[in-house]
Structures are given as C-alpha cells and as structure tokens.
C-alpha cells in the first residue's frame, strides 16, 4: 500500500548518520526509545557510515553517472510517465519519488536527507 509508514523509511538507514536506524545501531534501541543509558561498545555496523568512504566525508552531488541520469530523468519526467515506467500503484507514490529525486538533484545527498527529515517532523 501507499500509507505514510513507508515514506518515513525513505531516509532511515544504518548508513545515514542522524537517522533513527543509525542512532539505534550506535547507541542501542533501549537508549533511543528512552529506557537505558547509551551503549558504550561500538556496533560494527556503524562502520558502514558513508562519511568514512566519501571524499571529504560528504556525498554532496557527486553521484555515480547512472544514478545522476536516473534522478535527472525522474526530476524532469511527468508523474504519469514515472507511473508508467516503474509501475507505481498510484500517482502519489510516483510524485513522492519524483520529489525525492528533485531534492537529491537540487540539494545534494545530505541536503536531501535533511529536507526529508524536516518534512517528517512537520
């Protein structure tokens, strides 16, 4: 379905610092949800942090060529064309993906993540 729940996962990953999943992996689920002090041992999954592997610690707009092509196409396409190409069940789903592609294109990776997180809090 196209409920709001899947949209909240759009920026939640153990590889995206500041997201809930990253924070749970780093500090422990009981701490994140208010029941315990933060764990002291480093969870090895946190080493997946992309900042350790991106030049200067930022992805910015330095995307691989094919990904750049994809977000450019999504940014410029009509919503019905996106539905047709990818088989979304609704135009709302396609419009959501297009919005994220526009953010990635216009704001860079970190800016798009911050924008998405602000929207979730609104």
Q: 7 Cβ partners below 8 Å, 6+ apart?
A: 96, 120
Region at 108 (left for phi over 0; alpha for psi -120 to 50; beta for the rest): left
What does the DSSP 8-state code read for residue 18? T
State the pLDDT at residue 2. Answer: 43
46-57 in b/e form (b: 16+ CB < 10 A) is beebeeeeeeee
72-88 pLDDT, tens digit per residue, is 999 999 999 999 999 98
52-65 pLDDT, tens digit per residue, is 778 888 889 998 89
Indicate if the pLDDT at residue 4 is higher than 60.
Answer: no
89-121 pLDDT, tens digit per residue, is 899 989 989 998 999 999 999 898 888 878 777
Q: 122 Cβ partners below 8 Å, 6+ apart?
A: none
State the pLDDT at residue 79. Answer: 97
Q: Which two tokens stand for residue 84?
A: 């047709």
State the pLDDT at residue 45. Answer: 63
Alpha-carbon span 32 to 96, nearest angstrom: 28
| pTM tops 0.75 | no
State the pLDDT at residue 3. Answer: 44
């Amino acid at each position: 379905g196209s409920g709001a729940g899947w949209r909240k996962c759009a920026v939640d990953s153990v590889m995206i610092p500041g997201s809930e999943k990253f924070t749970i992996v780093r500090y422990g689920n009981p701490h994140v949800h208010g029941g315990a002090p933060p764990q002291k041992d480093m969870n090895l999954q946190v080493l997946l942090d992309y900042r350790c592997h991106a030049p200067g610690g930022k992805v910015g707009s330095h995307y691989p060529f094919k990904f750049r092509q994809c977000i450019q196409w999504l940014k410029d396409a009509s919503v019905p064309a996106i539905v047709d190409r990818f088989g979304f069940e609704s135009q709302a789903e396609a419009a959501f993906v297009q919005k994220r592609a526009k953010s990635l294109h216009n704001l860079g990776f970190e800016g798009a993540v911050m924008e998405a997180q602000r929207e979730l809090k609104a």
